[in-house]
Amino acid sequence: MHNLNLFGLNIIDFHSHFPTQRWGRGSWRQRLVDRYGERKAEIILENSRRYRDDWRHMWGFETPEERTHSDEEQADRWVKDLESKGISHVNFVTGGGNDNLAEIVKLHKIKFSGFAHHDPWMEGAPEELDRAVNDLGLSGYKMIASSQDLPVDDRRLYPLWEKVEELEIPVVIHFGVLGGGGGPARDLRNMNPLTLWEVASDFPTIPFVVPHFGACYIRELLQLCWSCPNVMIDTSGSNQWMKWMPYQLNLEDLFRKVMETVGPERVLFGTDSSYFPRGFSKPYLREQLKACYGIGMNREDIEKIFHRNAEKLLKL
Q: In the structure, what pLDDT confidence band is assigned to residue 36 with cuts at 50, 70 and 90?
A: confident
Q: By CB neighbour count within 10 A (0-12 exposed, 13-18 middle, 19+ buried), where does 136 fall?
A: middle
Position 93 pLDDT exceeds 70 = yes
Position 27 pLDDT exceeds 80 = no
Q: In the structure, what pLDDT confidence band is assigned to residue 48 with cuts at 50, 70 and 90?
A: confident
pLDDT per position as a tens digit, 214-236: 999 999 999 999 999 999 999 99
Taking residues 111-128, report their average pLDDT.
Answer: 97
Taking residues 245-249, report their average pLDDT.
Answer: 95
Position 195 pLDDT exceeds 60 = yes
Taking residues 198-212, report their average pLDDT.
Answer: 98
What CATH number is given for 12-314 in this structure?
Answer: 3.20.20.140
The beta-carbon contacts of 288-292 under 8 Å, at least 24 apart in sequence, are: 288/235, 288/251, 288/255, 289/4, 289/6, 289/9, 290/251, 291/250, 291/251, 291/252, 291/254, 291/255, 292/255
306 touches 96 (CB < 8 A):
no
Please state the pTM of the whole predicted model.
0.94
